[in-house]
Amino acid sequence: MPTIHLPFRAADPFIMRASDRRYYLYSTNEDGGGFPVHVSKNLIDWESCGLVLSEKSARWGVSRFWAPECYKVRGKYYLFYSADWKDNPTGTLENFRIGVAVADAPAGPFEDISDRPVFDPGYPVIDADVYEEDGRYYLYYSRCSYQHDVGGLEESWIYGVELKPDFSGIIGEPVLLLRPEQEWEGRSAAQTGRRWNEGSYLMRHGGKYIMTYSANFYAGADYAVGYATADHPLGPYVKAAENPILERSAQITGPGHSCMFHATDGQLMICYHGYTGKSGKNRVGFISPAHITEDGRLVIDKD
């Protein structure tokens, strides 16, 4: 299967294959005002479902609604996302937290389960990803680089923590899983003064946990995807030596913030955003086939 170029803007895309055998794609609006959803039977033809949660309907967030992910749990659909929290007594410039909204159908509309975020770690967080195993839920997120100085550079790190079963809070303390360490993860550092590990997605293959993530400036050509593996959902994780596994090409620059899913025929796929010569500053979506080798390496089957 060749790479699919989605016919609409799709920043921070997340695809859920629902029980009706249709694909639901949740994404970030470039204006940060809410979450558009598109639905498809074949990954080629898409229908817009409009905004399923926005700054007008949210209970705790006020702006910059980013990176939605949706999961079916106990017959309901739960949308995890990040936004600027209205509780901001110090006037911090980046006051992002993670919240959860619920709906009866994958196309919404969604309503926040609370008038506050899931938890407050004391620093801005974005890019929620949730993994379930044996009835236990794990939340993965990115600590923003804002005011997080590490040796003269601001850095974004990826953490994991167990969630309460009703998603009302966390269990225990967050665990640091990934931080910028590999050479390719600093390609935009000189221009930005920052290094990133963000946009994580976790899946299991056999006895291993595979976490994809993105590094470098999201709006730059060097944004790219790597992965790391572990024996437990909360690590420790070891980054792949062959990273990055998805980076700019002649057709697409800045590919990143990916998720993985299986198509109806069982094919492993990766969905991500990027830029083309025609898209300008707008992020558009792509879907590429992928596979895992016998020795456990994640490979993106690019055209």
| Pick from 211, 195, 256: nearest CA to 11 | 256
Backbone angles phi, psi at 192, to 5 degrees: -110, -20
* pLDDT band (50, 70, 90) for residue 277: confident
Whole-model pTM above 0.75? Answer: yes
Backbone angles phi, psi at 183, to 5 degrees: -55, -45
Token code pair at residue 228 = 């790391």
- How far, in Å, CA of 272 to CA of 286, rounded? 5
Q: In the prediction, which pLDDT does 118 show?
A: 98
Q: In the prediction, which pLDDT does 12 show?
A: 98
| Amino acid letter, residue 140 | Y
Give me the DSSP letters along 154-207.
EEEEEEEEEEPTTSSSEEEEEEEEE---SGGGGTTHHHHSEEE-EEEEEEEETT
Q: What are the tens digits of pLDDT across the range 14-53?
A: 999 998 889 999 999 999 999 999 999 999 999 999 999 9
- Contact between 6 and 15 (Cβ < 8 Å): no
Range scoring the smallest mean pLDDT among 131-135, 221-225, 257-261, 280-284: 280-284
Mean pLDDT of the chain: 96
Over 70: is that where the pLDDT of 73 sits?
Answer: yes
- How far, in Å, CA of 99 to CA of 133, rounded? 21
Backbone angles phi, psi at 280, to 5 degrees: 60, -130
Q: What are the tens digits of pLDDT across the range 196-254?
A: 999 999 999 999 999 999 999 999 999 999 999 999 999 999 999 999 999 999 889 99
- How far, in Å, CA of 18 to CA of 41, rounded? 10
Over 70: is that where the pLDDT of 303 sits?
Answer: no
Across 251-303, where does the E strand assignment appear? 253-262, 268-275, 284-292, 298-300
Q: In the prediction, which pLDDT does 1 show?
A: 74
147 Rama sector, left if φ>0, alpha if ψ -120 to 50, beta otherwise = left
- Contact between 133 and 203 (Cβ < 8 Å): no
Q: For 101, what's the count of Cα atoms within 13 Å in the CB-facing half-sphere?
A: 28
- How far, in Å, CA of 211 to CA of 202, rounded? 4
Q: What are the tens digits of pLDDT across the range 160-195?
A: 999 999 999 999 999 999 999 999 999 999 999 999
- How far, in Å, CA of 297 to CA of 212, rounded? 12
Average of per-residue pLDDT across 282-297:
95
- How far, in Å, CA of 84 to CA of 112, rounded? 14
Query: Which residue is listed with tokens 């456990």?
Result: 296
- How far, in Å, CA of 220 to CA of 254, rounded? 6
Say how far residue 287 (Cα) sits from the centre of its chain: 15
* pLDDT band (50, 70, 90) for residue 66: very high
Average of per-residue pLDDT across 84-101:
96
